[in-house]
């Protein structure tokens, strides 16, 4: 009997209407369009502006669109998993809130948090549920309101991040040539001092002092993160190709985490891929953390065809990093 594979059978996204351009950022901090484009390759990003709305709002909107486009009854959903570094609140889990807003009443769910590598880590987790044979319909949400933890007085980080949510339907496939074929995932913890949000957790609970010290925003030492990411993403992407004796000709597309154009270029070069084999939309959406890979899958959905062999690659806080080999199934 063939091994069950986890396949994506539908994908939808929610993007906030508000577009924050580089031009607008020049009026907020000391920066320029040339500076941002030359260092990270971002032209604009989407921002969820309305007060009282968070990640669950975007996630639920994406899930509603997914249920409609896949003609799925919410009662048939057995599990909903949400990855986010910007959950609505510490608890309950954002997956619970999304389920309620989307009318999913008969399944269960939970949240995950693995930084910008979270799509990879969570997809591997979901794969195990599918391979158990007990789950037929799982909704996988990646959603981030990065603007809520971005310091718009910090010129080094505020140009980077955007908001978005993507919902995917994951189902079993008996043809083991399709779906999530392999994963190589890493975490070492040594990078935790270079990229973090320290305020608001049990280590530094919210207080007047943590607010004054701006501890509830993203802190990043960009050079250190870049130095590790440019090696980590490239190495693990080449490793997964070597493990399966693949050449650049075998790969339809690299779908990288959209954090920095220079990191993406280095990864593609290490894999021997030409630019036309790399899916890039960082210029439109910025860094949407773990949402960036599925957002690219949604953005380029008309370009990807059944049977295309894809490599997903990411690097994130922790440090976390990894690559996955996936064959598109529809």
Q: Return the active site residues.
A: 116, 257, 287
The burial class, CB within 10 Å (0-12 / 13-18 / 19+), for 105 is exposed
8 A C-beta contact, residue 329 and residue 8 = yes
Q: Which of 221, 237, 312 is nearest to 270 (CA)?
A: 237
CB-based contacts of 45, cutoff 8 Å, min separation 6: 19, 20, 161, 162, 163, 285, 286, 287, 288
Q: Which of 318, 315, 258 is nearest to 120 (CA)?
A: 315
Beta-bridge mates of residue 80: 109, 139
Q: What is the DSSP letter of 3?
A: P
Q: Which of 150, 183, 165 is nearest to 313 (CA)?
A: 183
CA distance linking residue 282 with residue 280, whole number of Å? 6
CA distance linking residue 286 with residue 290, whole number of Å? 12
8 A C-beta contact, residue 159 and residue 152 = no
8 A C-beta contact, residue 170 and residue 67 = no
In three-state secondary structure terms, 309 is strand
Q: What is the DSSP letter of 147?
A: G
């Amino acid at each position: 009997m063939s091994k069950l594979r986890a396949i994506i059978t539908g994908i939808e996204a929610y993007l906030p209407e508000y577009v924050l351009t580089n031009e607008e950022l020049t009026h907020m901090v000391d920066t320029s369009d040339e500076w941002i484009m030359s260092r990270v390759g971002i032209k604009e990003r989407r921002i969820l502006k309305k007060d009282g709305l968070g990640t669950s709002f975007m996630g639920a909107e994406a899930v509603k669109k997914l249920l409609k486009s896949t003609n799925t009854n919410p009662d048939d959903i057995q599990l909903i998993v949400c990855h986010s570094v910007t959950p609505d609140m510490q608890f309950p889990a954002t997956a619970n809130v999304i389920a309620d807003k989307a009318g999913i009443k008969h399944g269960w769910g939970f949240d995950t948090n693995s930084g910008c590598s979270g799509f990879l880590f969570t997809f591997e987790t979901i794969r195990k549920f599918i391979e158990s044979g007990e789950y037929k319909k799982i909704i996988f949400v990646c959603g981030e309101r990065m603007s809520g933890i971005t310091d718009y007085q910090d010129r080094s980080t505020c140009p980077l991040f955007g908001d978005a949510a993507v919902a995917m339907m994951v189902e079993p496939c008996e043809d083991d040539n399709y779906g999530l074929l392999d994963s190589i995932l890493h975490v070492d913890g040594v990078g935790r001092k270079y990229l973090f949000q320290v305020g608001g957790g049990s280590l530094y609970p919210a207080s007047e002092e943590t607010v004054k010290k701006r501890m509830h925003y993203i802190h990043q030492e960009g050079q250190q993160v870049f130095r590790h990411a440019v090696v980590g993403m490239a190495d693990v992407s080449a490793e997964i190709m070597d493990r399966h004796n693949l050449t650049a000709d075998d790969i339809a597309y690299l779908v990288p985490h959209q954090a920095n154009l220079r990191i993406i270029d280095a990864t593609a070069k290490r894999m021997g891929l030409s630019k036309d084999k790399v899916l890039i939309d960082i210029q439109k959406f910025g860094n949407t953390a773990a949402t960036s890979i599925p957002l690219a899958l949604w953005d380029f959905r008309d370009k990807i065809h059944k049977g295309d062999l894809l490599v997903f690659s990411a690097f994130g806080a922790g440090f976390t990093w990894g690559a996955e080999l996936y064959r598109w199934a529809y």
